[in-house]
A and B are shown apart, each in its own frame.
Chain A
Amino acid sequence: MNAPEYTTIVGLEVHVQLKTASKLFCRCSTQFGAPPNTQVCPVCLGLPGSLPVLNAQAVQLAMRTGLALQCRIANFTKWDRKNYFYPDLPKGYQISQFDLPICAEGFLEIEIGSEATATRKKIRLVRAHLEEDAGKSLHDESATRDRKKSDTRIDLNRTGTPLLEIVSEPDIRSAEEAKSYLTELKLLLEYLDVSDCNMQEGSLRVDANVNVHIPNKDPNGKPIATPIVEVKNLNSFRAVERAIQYESARQYQLWQQNGLSIGQAPKQTRGWDDQDGITTLQREKEESADYRYFPDPDLVPVLIEESEIDHVLQSLCELPQTKRQRFVSEYQIKPYDAEVIVSQGLAIATYFESLIKLGSTPKRAAAWMQQDVLRTLRDQDIAIDQFAVTPCKLAGLLVAIESGKLDTTRGREVFNQLVQNPQIEVEAAIDSLGIVQVDNQAMEQLCAELLAANPDVVEKVKSGNAKAIGSLVGQAKKKNPNADPRVVQELCLTIINAS
């Protein structure tokens, strides 16, 4: 196999809206979807004379996230103003954190490669800092041709919503790794309950810094790096993947044409066009924009005691990766099964554990979670908390199967009953399907009849082909739907061997 023509280098900036009831510096609601400009006050409108007051809850959520991302939490952190003019930024500056972010130097482990060859990789984080969100500019696209009629409207409901900006090192090497990083990050944020992580509503937003490294033909030379491009307007994980693929190929191609490497061409900001699957130039910066950062004199620095950090650390929930490892070691399930269950979110993982606590074997619970529960949720397009079959009911069913009261096939019938009729209990469902455990005598009689009617099968078994019994199981089921296939097989073999 030939060496790849280039390596893709990606760093991601993820903006996460924190799940506080009110905004970062005022008491306005952060609820999404209200009519424009109804969740505003003098502070977030930036009216003359208004002053910001910190929402301590946002600091708590940032600490929780930072600790889960293995970051160092600053004992002293402060607020800085990032100055720029734009109509969705009413004060003319954004309150952010410049040189002393609340969280620094963490990492997130992701899984790379496919199931069999999967390995884990650390993506290092530069920092995670708190800042206030800007408002939304709604451009009237239909009127862009006629400039006089074109209109931009501003909704300031979002202005001041707390954001945690999580900045990774350029440790990501492919579009797939980027997707894996984002998936794991989103899962973590959901486990921590710090964000809704809804990309459609903008509570999770991603910018990607992309360039490629091209191996140098000169044996001692360092690889050649293309100029870094920041890609914006990425509205889904799929868009992130596609944009990185597109952008790295574009940069390699461009380099082949013009030979310009990093430093020889300005840094670009490009926008992702999801429909056409391309990035387009938004702006070029000769130097980085001068935001004239300085400490915000309207706010006091935040001092965080070690004891406070400890307290948050102690109160952290079990994180996804720890949970995966524990599921494997404690329940002896396969790493792949643990991966699937844990990655479905905390509620699914908790549901799974409830099944075990209520008496199911882990192996059976894991199988049913993946095959039956998740499939049903997908089919019905619902979340686990809307699911008709409570852990208690499903555990009851699984225990019944375990005890031999019914087999897996009939178990599925019961499960379907439970799904379709939320009122019904497991026992009633079993009864309604006429499921009764067949006693041994009846079973022996049934098997004897079957063997008598099928001498060819008996012959085959006697000549060493035990599998031939299988054809009798179907017949047994027809005669008595409650016949357990396993029992039928065993009894038949016993009778043949005894004859």
Chain B
Amino acid sequence: MNLIYLTATQIAQLIHSRQVTSEQATQAFLDRISATDSRVGAFLSVAGDRAIDQARKVDQKIAKGQIDSPFAGVPVAIKDVLCTTDEPTTAASKILKGYVSPYKATVVEKLESAGIVILGKTNLDEFAMGGSTENSGYQLTKNPWDLTRTPGGSSGGSAACIAAAQAPISLGTDTGGSIRQPASFCGICGLKPTYGRVSRYGLLAFASSLDQIGPMAHSVEDLASLLEVIGGHDPRDSTSIPQPVTGLAAKFGTSIAGLKIGIVREQIESEGLDPEIRQNLLNAIEVYQSEGAKIVDIELPNSQYSIATYYIIAPGEASSNLSRYSGAHFGYRSSTVTEKSGSATASSLVDMYCNTRGEGFGPEVKRRVMLGTYTLSAGYYDAYYLKALKVRRLIRQDFDKAFEQVDLILGPTTPTAAFPIGEKTDDPVQMYLVDLFTVGANLAGIPALAIPNGQSKSGLPIGMQLQAAPLREDLLLHAGHAYQSTTQYQPTWPTLS
């Protein structure tokens, strides 16, 4: 039995029934990482011996019956925007090279207390800004299904490591689609929870009003268990929802007959949508119909403005969130001395700021900081940021209205399957359009699930997306689970050639 080709639920059962130890499972994945990551590039740091130590401690607790968590002993990979205290937390940015946080993110504490072993930290687009992981300040991550293609992003490392059997589950973050898009590109499942479901404490902020941490895995079942571990109220995050996250799998195995599923015709018929994705989506609609779900046409009239709205709000918040990376207190500080600086100390301070940020940030981060600084400026604020906030409200109202009619909305995750590395790097707007179907859920704060939905003729994974009303992760996961059961979905792994 090869442990690396199992779902987290299966591994957890083996550990629970003492057929396998956490140490064995952890070692198996660590071995896989060392054997394959030079080709995939999913990890920025690997916990190695520390992970083994951790696994042994969990094994002891399991032996003494001191731990009662469904995923106890299972290894996980986490996106390198979540604070851990043993390895660096870099956001894939040179400005945080070697930065070690003195405290742990709430989700990291929750993983640890559930006995889940952290394997290492995964690559991303710098500060989660991007859709291909090409914006990492450190390395490229390749799509395990086709190493010439991107894994998507920004949680590209967290998606690729699962597809490459380097980890059974991972945590990503999703600001405009950064969990769902790479999940679809890499043929795995990913969930962006309702805004406020998972504490953001210890998540390096990109756009605070949009960021959510979520689970990535092979199966919907795995997602449900992992979300229950990381979710719930956290008094350290003012935007955290004071409700427990439990019973997500309660309806698994029961019929979805009567479920009302909305579809947006323009999305499915849109020219930009890849025909194979469209066909697989139409097939999925039939599957749901055959299971007794009712398909309803709905409209999201303001969704056409979602990309524009998103690319005003997100950079605006980012420009402020990233101000702390100034070289004054932590992280990278430029040692460049600007010759022209005069004698006043004020000017050498400004030089230090400019050089640190100029050298420490990559081009996409700089682009967004500049965009955000512009749209928040006096004289432009009303026309851009304030207007975007108003449109955001309209977009949210569209979803509110839709969910008066239907339980779920089904559609594509991405317009295309994984694109080749380098294809969009010179055209930021093309890159931004990759988020077309995903940003709506972030702007509206609703939960959204991406699950595999077949493959293209060229063997690339295709995904689809389900969206639900706030706090209805249970519905999403039920529908996702039903789809995987009906279609007898089995995770598959590429050969990494």
* B-binding residues in A (CB < 8 A): 42, 45-54, 81, 83, 85, 87, 90-93, 147, 150, 152, 154, 288, 290, 292-294, 297-300
Q: How far is the CB of B203 from chain A (nearest CB, A)?
A: 6
Known: A42-B102, A48-B325, A292-B376. 14 other contacts (CB 8 A): A49-B204, A51-B237, A53-B235, A53-B236, A53-B238, A83-B320, A85-B326, A87-B328, A91-B323, A92-B322, A293-B381, A294-B376, A297-B208, A298-B205
Interface contact A51-B320, CB-CB below 8 Å: no
Residue of B nearest to A26 (CB): B236
Q: Could you tell me the distance between the alpha carbons of A290 and B379 in the complex, rounded to whole angstroms?
A: 10
Q: In B364-421, which residues have CB < 8 Å from any A CB?
A: 373, 376-378, 381, 385
Pairwise interchain contact B349-A87, C-beta atoms closer than 8 A: yes
Residue of B nearest to A88 (CB): B328
Q: Given A48-B324, A81-B320, does the pair A294, B329 have CB atoms closer than 8 Å? A: no
Question: Are the CB atoms of B324 and A298 closer together than 8 Å?
Answer: no
Give the most central of A51, A83, A299, A300: most B CB within 10 Å. Answer: A51
A288 to B377, CA, bound (A): 12
Contact among B238, B322, B328, B345 for A298, CB-based, below 8 A: B238
A-B pairs with beta carbons under 8 Å apart, 5 shown: A42-B101, A48-B204, A51-B201, A85-B353, A93-B323
Query: Which residues of chain B are near A150, meaning CB under 8 Å?
Result: 345
Chain A residues contacting B239 (CB-CB under 8 Å) are: 297-300
Q: A294–B381 contact, CB under 8 A?
A: yes
> Across the interface, do A47 and B200 meet the contact criterion of CB distance under 8 Å?
no
Residues on B with C-beta less than 8 A from A293 are 376, 381
Q: How far is the CA of A46 from the CA of B350 in the complex (A)?
A: 20
B489 within 8 A of A: no
In the docked arrangement, what's the CA distance between A42 and B201, Å? 11
Which of A49, A93, A292, A299 meets B203, CB within 8 Å? A49
Q: Is B449 an interface residue (CB 8 A)?
A: no
Query: With a CB–CB cut-off of 8 A, which chain B residues contact A154?
Result: 328
Q: How far is the CA of A53 from the CA of B201 in the complex (A)?
A: 11
Contact flag A48-B89 (CB < 8 Å), given A91-B323, A152-B345: yes
Q: Hey, which chain B residues are within 8 Å of A47, CB to CB? A: 101-103, 324, 330
| Residues in chain B near residue A83, CB distance under 8 A | 319-320, 323, 376
Asked if A52 meets B238 with Cβ closer than 8 Å, knowing A46-B329, A47-B101, A297-B317, the reply is yes
Which residues of chain B are within 8 angstroms of A297 by Cβ–Cβ distance?
207-209, 239, 317
**Chain B residues, Cβ within 8 Å of A54:** 238
**Contact assessment for B238 and A92 in the assembled complex, using a CB-CB cutoff below 8 Å:** no
Q: In the complex, what residues of B have CB within 8 A of residue A152's CB?
A: 345
| B377 lies within 8 A of A292 (CB) | yes
Indicate whether B462 reaches chain A with its CB closer than 8 angstroms.
no
Q: Which residue of B lies closest to A81 (CB)?
A: B320
Contacts of B320 in A (CB 8 A): 81, 83, 92-93, 292, 294
Interfacial chain A residues near B252, Cβ < 8 Å: none
Task: Tell me whether B377 and A290 are in contact (CB under 8 A).
Answer: yes
User: For the complex, what is the distance from the CA of A51 to the CA of B238, rounded to whole Å?
Assistant: 8
- Interface size, chain B (Cβ < 8 Å): 49
B165: CB under 8 A from chain A? no
Expressed in whole angstroms, the Cα–Cα distance for A51 and B237 within the complex equals: 6
Contact assessment for A49 and B202 in the assembled complex, using a CB-CB cutoff below 8 Å: yes
Residues of B within 8 A of A (CB): 81-83, 89, 91, 96, 99, 101-103, 105, 200-205, 207-209, 235-239, 316-317, 319-320, 322-326, 328-331, 343, 345, 349-350, 353, 373, 376-378, 381, 385
Q: Which one of A42, A49, A150 has the highest number of Cβ atoms from chain B below 10 Å of its Cβ? A: A49
Contact of B101 among A48, A53, A90, A147 (CB under 8 A): A48
Report yes or no: A147 in contact with B343, Cβ–Cβ below 8 A.
yes
* A49 engages B238 (CB within 8 Å): no
Cα separation A150 to B103 with both chains bound (whole Å): 33
Residues of chain B contacted by A48 (CB below 8 angstroms): 83, 89, 91, 96, 99, 101, 204-205, 324-325, 330-331
Contact assessment for B83 and A49 in the assembled complex, using a CB-CB cutoff below 8 Å: yes
A90 touching B324, Cβ below 8 Å: yes
| Contact present for B329 and A45 (CB under 8 Å) | yes
Q: Which residues of A contact B330 (CB under 8 A)?
A: 47-48
Collect the chain A residues with CB atoms within 8 Å of residue B105's CB. Answer: 49
Interface centre among A54, A90, A92, A290 (most CB of B within 10 A): A92
Instruction: Find out whether the CB atom of A294 lies under 8 angstroms from the CB atom of B385.
Output: yes
B102 contacts across to A, CB distance below 8 A: 42, 47
- Please name the 4 residue pairs, one residue from A and one from B, whose CB atoms are nearest each other, closest first: A92-B323, A297-B209, A297-B208, A292-B376
Q: Are A91 and B324 in contact (CB under 8 A)?
A: yes
Contacts of B349 in A (CB 8 A): 87
CB-based nearest A residue for B205: A49
Give bound CA distance, A87 to B102, whole Å: 20
Asked whether A49 lies within 8 Å of B236 as measured between CB atoms, the reply is no
* B350 vs chain A, min Cβ distance (A): 8
Measured between beta carbons, the chain B residues less than 8 angstroms from A53 are 235-238
Contact of B328 among A81, A90, A300 (CB under 8 A): A90
- State the CA gap A48–B211 with chains docked (Å): 14
Interface centre among B102, B235, B320, B376 (most CB of A within 10 A): B320
Q: Determine the residue in chain B with the shortest Cβ distance to A91.
A: B324
Name the residue of chain A whose CB is nearest to the CB of B234.
A51
Residues of A within 8 A of B324 (CB): 46-48, 90-92
Taking the closest CB of chain B, its distance from the CB of A42, in whole angstroms, is: 5
Q: A299 CA to B202 CA in the complex, in Å? A: 15
| C-alpha spacing A297/B322, complex, angstroms | 14
Is the beta-carbon distance between A51 and B200 smaller than 8 angstroms? yes
Asked, given contacts A48-B324, A90-B328, A292-B376, whether A299 binds B238 with beta carbons under 8 Å apart, the answer is yes
Name the distance in Å between A135's Cβ and chain B's nearest Cβ.
Answer: 10
Residue of B nearest to A295 (CB): B389
Q: In the complex, what distance in Å separates the CA atom of A54 from the CA atom of B238?
A: 8
Cβ contact within 8 Å between B373 and A292: yes
Q: Closest B-chain residue to A151, C-beta based? A: B345
What chain A residues lie within 8 Å of B323 (beta carbons)?
83, 85, 91-93
CA distance A210 to B254 in the complex (A): 75
Please, which residues of chain A bring their CB within 8 A of the CB of B235? Answer: 53
**Roughly how many angstroms separate A50 CA and B202 CA in the complex, as a whole number?**
6
A50 CA / B321 CA spacing, docked (Å): 11
A24 to chain B: closest CB distance in Å? 12
A42 and chain B: residue at smallest CB distance: B103
Complex Cα–Cα for A47 and B85 (A): 13
Complex Cα spacing A133 to B475, Å: 45
Closest to A25 in B: B238
Interface centre among B91, B207, B235, B326 (most CB of A within 10 A): B326
- Least Cβ–Cβ distance between B109 and chain A, in angstroms: 12
| Complex: A268 Cα to B283 Cα, angstroms | 69
CA distance A431 to B9 in the complex (A): 92
